Amino acid sequence: MTGTPIRLLLADDHPVVRAGLRAVLETEPDLVVVAEVATAQEAVARAAEGGIDVVLMDLQFGAGMNGAEATAAITARPGGPRVLVVTTYDTDADTLPAIEAGATGYLLKDALPEDLAAAVRTAAAGRTTLAPSVADRLMNRLRTPGTALTRREIEVLTLVADGLSNQALARRLHLTEGTVKSHLARVYSKLGVDSRTAAVAAATGLGLIRR
């Protein structure tokens, strides 16, 4: 533990959160924050320059690229840094894309400083840390695969929750309206409902989509 320090990049659009992460992590002698960025694009660019071991990545940025896309871009480069997602939300709509994009860990912003530091060290070693609530839902998903919604189904349902019609949905996703209905029909049967509004209500209650 007395070797070279772990070099960190902070990617978050909130200055206060960046300052907080820096304050919390720089009290640890083996961690050093070498850069901060306020957008996902900057995170990808800075990570490509090298000299970073772990990126602490937010998922929601005000505009432009989101954190999951940035994570995918960063982890796609061999020899690049690990990405530890640190966000406020813990719904499937957030966690699944991030994990798929290659995130090494997934923490929530209410994490204690010591858990945060521990997760950074774990990520630097290439191993995974998950927030308890995230781990819970992943376990349930593996235990009861019948109930779980697929990525596509979550994507469709999220747009339904935004108020889009089947027709608008089809245009947005480059599908036929019939395909949209197929997806929704399967969503309804999995959630035990029979209308789009009931599906949105049920999925919101289960934390499958973000409110």
List interacting residues with a copy of itself (CB under 8 A).
13-24, 62, 86, 88, 109-113, 116, 160-165, 193, 195-202, 204, 211
Q: Which is nearer to DNA, 27 or 195 (CB)?
A: 195
Q: Residue 118 binds what, of DNA, a copy of itself, none (CB under 5 to 8 Å, by partner type)?
A: none
Look up residue 100 and give its two tokens: 């798929």
Report, in Å, the least distance between residue 126 CB and a copy of itself. Answer: 24
Q: Which is nearer to a copy of itself, 18 or 82 (CB)?
A: 18
Phi, psi (deg, nearest 5) at residue 53 = -100, -40
Could you count the other beta carbons within 10 Å of the beta carbon of residue 88? 14
> How buried is residue 14: exposed, middle or buried, by Cβ count under 10 Å (0-12/13-18/19+)?
middle
Q: Residue 110 binds what, of a copy of itself, DNA, none (CB under 5 to 8 Å, by partner type)?
A: a copy of itself
Could you count the other beta carbons within 10 Å of the beta carbon of residue 23? 11
Q: Residue 182 binds what, of a copy of itself, DNA, none (CB under 5 to 8 Å, by partner type)?
A: DNA
Q: Which is nearer to DNA, 3 or 178 (CB)?
A: 178
- Residues 179 to 198: which contact DNA by CB under 7 A? 179, 181-186, 188, 194-196
Phi, psi (deg, nearest 5) at residue 184 = -65, -35
Could you count the other beta carbons within 10 Å of the beta carbon of residue 49? 9
Report, in Å, the least distance between residue 93 CB and DNA. Answer: 13
User: Of 18-26, 79-87, 125-133, 167-175, which segment contacts DNA by CB under 7 A?
Assistant: 167-175
Question: Within 10-161, where are the H helices?
Answer: 15-25, 40-49, 67-76, 92-100, 113-124, 132-143, 151-161
Side by side, which strands form the sheet with 82-87?
A: 31-37, 6-11, 54-57, 82-87, 105-108
Which stretches of the chain bind DNA, using CB under 7 A? 145, 148, 150-153, 165-167, 173, 175-176, 178-179, 181-186, 188, 194-196
